[in-house]
Amino acid sequence: MKIPQYIRQEPARVIPGVRVNPAAMTQDLQAMGQFGEAMGQFGETLSRVGNEFGTKMREAREVSEYSNAENSWKEGINKFKLGLETDTDYKTFSARFEKTQGDLYNQVASGITEPNAKATFKRFVDKNLVSERFEIGRKANKLEIGFMEADYYKQIELAIKRGDIDFINKSTNAAISAGYLKADVGEKARENAIAKTNYNTAWNNIITAPSRDDAVRVVKDSALLPSEKNALISRYDQEVAFKKAQAKEQKEADIAKVQDDFVTRAYDPKNPLTHSEVDSAILEPVGGGSKAFFHELINKRVKAVIDETNLPYTTDNGKAIADILLRNTDPDQKPLTPTQILEEVPKRDSYSLQTAQNLIKAMDVTSTDIFKNTDASLKAMFGYEGILKGFGTKPLAAVYYNNAMVEILTDQAKSPLKGAELRNRIYELAEPYLREHWTSSGDTEGNIDMRLKAMGIKQSPSAKVVPPPAQQVQTPSAPGIVLKRKVGETYPEWEKRHGLHLK
């Protein structure tokens, strides 16, 4: 770089006493020329440094953009592959990958400004796609093979059920030949399938055999191992016993349903039970709740109507009710069946047909733990002393308890309850009977209220104003017959009227 020379053109001035030296002037001009050359070299250096810095910045930008692009690409591809781990649509893996990688490339490449970086990224992607496409295809093939293998086992199970050994052999050979089932795995599967087929075939033959002897004969003639033959015989015995139990339970349920209907209609003039219905029913010929039982009910009802006399089986005996309730709520015994309940009705000093009907309808309720526990609590409150002593020297307490339970059973036959609602309802219905019992035993009103409150029974003000309902008791002159006490009648008055002296 040259700095321009400028010499001002002025006329020479003559300075008196001073003389110009031409040599000195030449030296000054030379010095100025050297300065100009130095300045030119400095400018060239600055330009070269500037060019090198620009090159370095461009290279740094290329490296940064390429690095970011490669990382974004790998993250996008990895995210797609992770999504395939729980994906079963292997048929669309490749097509979805091509769309994903195309969209991903365009998105990442659009952010690259340096041509060299973009070209390098394009070369990387082209090379990377070769391995990624192979891996995607491998994933799809592996998943498809897994589906093929699963389908093979599914088809084999169907073949086992129908005893198709020929299909088992052909399918196994084809699967091994096609390569989606390893030879050792396939042979083991074939062996197990044929063994199961032979076992199932033998089972189907013995289960349809007319007798156990025929079943044993079939098993002995089969090509099974001794352990398999023994297992089949044991399984046959278990199956026969299970079916017998099922048939018995179903028959009992069907009989109970018929008995429930018949006992409800036995004395119903609007929908009376007929002899023809009884004859065609599935009931037993004789016994409690049998055809003979209901035929007799019909005959006695018809005779009572014709003779204009009272219907039979309409009287409750307190002891009989207590006995049947004690049995039905015993945790160590099975709940009574309708047949067992009905067979007590014709007996002397038993309970009425209506009570039997309520017992049958409330069987599901009385067999629950809540009912049994609440019943045990009531017995204790009424002074029950156990199965041997019963209510001991408190015959009136037994009457109160029995009458309370008749009302409770009637209520539950109409509207069955469970759990806490059942317990609360039992206490609610038993309250007036408990109050009368405790009053007759000499308890004070305040003490009775406290005991009822402890039971969780809400007291209504009207309970102390309205007289309790008339109760039924038994007298020595009429054993087994429940006589009502008039509303508002005191015990001395009732005793005097019936000649009964209670202690």
Q: Where are the alpha helices (DSSP H) in 7-114?
A: 22-83, 93-109
pLDDT band at 466 (very low <50, low <70, confident <90, very high): very low
Which burial class, exposed, middle or buried, applies to 426 when counting CB atoms under 10 A from its CB (0-12, 13-18, 19+)?
buried
Q: Where are the alpha helices (DSSP H) in 283-384?
A: 291-307, 318-328, 338-342, 353-361, 363-366, 369-381
- Lowest-pLDDT choice from 50-54, 207-211, 217-221, 382-386: 50-54
**Residue 19, by phi and psi: left (phi above 0), alpha (psi -120 to 50) or beta?**
beta
Supply the pLDDT for residue 484.
Answer: 53
Torsion of the alpha carbons at 191, 192, 194 and 200, rounded to the nearest 10: 160
Torsion of the alpha carbons at 193, 195, 198 and 204, rounded to the nearest 10: -70
More confident residue, 13 or 470: 13
pLDDT band at 494 (very low <50, low <70, confident <90, very high): low
The average confidence (pLDDT) of the chain is 82
Count Cβ neighbours within 10 Å for each residue of 216-235 and write b for 16 or more, e otherwise: bebbeebebeeebbeebeee
Q: Would the pLDDT of 24 be above 70? A: no
Condensed to tens digits (0 to 9), the pLDDT of residues 305-329 reads 999 888 899 888 877 887 887 787 7
Segment 31-40 mean pLDDT: 60
Supply the pLDDT for residue 481.
Answer: 43
Counts for the chain of helices (H) and strands (E), in that order: 18, 2
Q: Is 226 helix (H, G, I), strand (E, B) or coil?
A: helix
Q: Would the pLDDT of 461 be above 70? A: no
Q: Would the pLDDT of 294 be above 70? A: yes
Q: What is the pTM of this model?
A: 0.51
pLDDT band at 103 (very low <50, low <70, confident <90, very high): very high
Segment 18-25 mean pLDDT: 54
Q: Would the pLDDT of 439 be above 70? A: yes
Condensed to tens digits (0 to 9), the pLDDT of residues 151-166 reads 999 999 999 888 898 9
Condensed to tens digits (0 to 9), the pLDDT of residues 178-198 reads 888 999 999 999 999 988 888
Segment 453-480 mean pLDDT: 53
8 A C-beta contact, residue 499 and residue 475:
yes
Residue with tokens 């929908």: 271
Pairs from 366-370 (Cβ < 8 Å, separation ≥ 24): 366/325, 366/328, 366/329, 366/335, 366/409, 366/412, 367/328, 367/335, 368/418, 368/422, 369/331, 370/418, 370/419, 370/420, 370/422, 370/423
